[in-house]
Amino acid sequence: MSEAYFPVGPGLGPEENFLSLDDILMSQEKLPSRAEAALPRLAAVLGKGAGAGQGNCLPEGSKLEIPLWLAKGLYDHKRRILSVELPKTYKEGWRTVFSADANVVDLHKMGPYYYGFGFQLLNFDNPENPEIAQTILQLGIYSFLLSLMWARRTSRPGPFIYNEHLLTVFAASWTPPKIPITKTPLH
């Protein structure tokens, strides 16, 4: 018997996997940005028809909330058509909260695709890219260790034994080594 939909995992690299429903939904997440040049014929598409100038043209300096897929298509670090701003959950204030105690924040409520979307933000030139990558890595490892502890508590005794207190201390205090991030985009 065949299934109507064969599940496809999300892309793990800098590009999305458009056969994956998760990646399709992630690419629809809105990204705050600013038009660095006039964008002809995009006002109606973005729902800014009333504020647009002549000929459905978005004027230079317009603030936009556009989907990730469109931002990646319009972004060119050489021509400066579009500048991308960080969403609030990836800014320094939230990174400080995550480094203090990641348990208090429900990442799924903040954005169901926090890790994948954050990884896609590294495609854009941003001076905070190394810190964003570091935070995503730390949160990923921390949540993995917490899920390991939760699974261990709810399962039968297994073949391995570990000190749960030691894992808790490790998850709370471990910081991974600095990741060398290049200034060039990943595409």
The whole-number pLDDT of residue 160 equals 46
Per-residue pLDDT 10s for the chain (187 aa) are 555 555 656 555 556 677 778 888 888 999 999 989 888 887 777 776 555 556 678 888 889 899 998 898 888 878 888 899 999 989 998 888 887 776 777 777 888 888 888 889 988 888 999 999 888 888 888 777 777 776 666 555 554 445 555 555 555 555 555 555 555 555 5
The full set of domains in the chain, from first to last, is 1-85 (1.20.58.2050), 88-187 (1.20.58.2050)
The whole-number pLDDT of residue 148 equals 74
If you write DSSP's letter for every residue of 92-137 in order, what string do you get? HHHHHHHHH-GGG--HHHH-TTHHHHHHHHTTS--TTHHHHHHHHH
The whole-number pLDDT of residue 157 equals 53
The strand pairing partners of 149, in sequence order, are none
The whole-number pLDDT of residue 144 equals 78
Which residue has 């941003």 as its token pair? Answer: 126
The whole-number pLDDT of residue 39 equals 83
* Residue 60, number of CB atoms within 10 A of its CB: 11
Cβ-Cβ contacts under 8 Å for 94 (sequence gap 6 or more): 88, 105
The whole-number pLDDT of residue 11 equals 57
Is the Cβ–Cβ distance between 40 and 55 less than 8 Å?
yes
The whole-number pLDDT of residue 138 equals 83
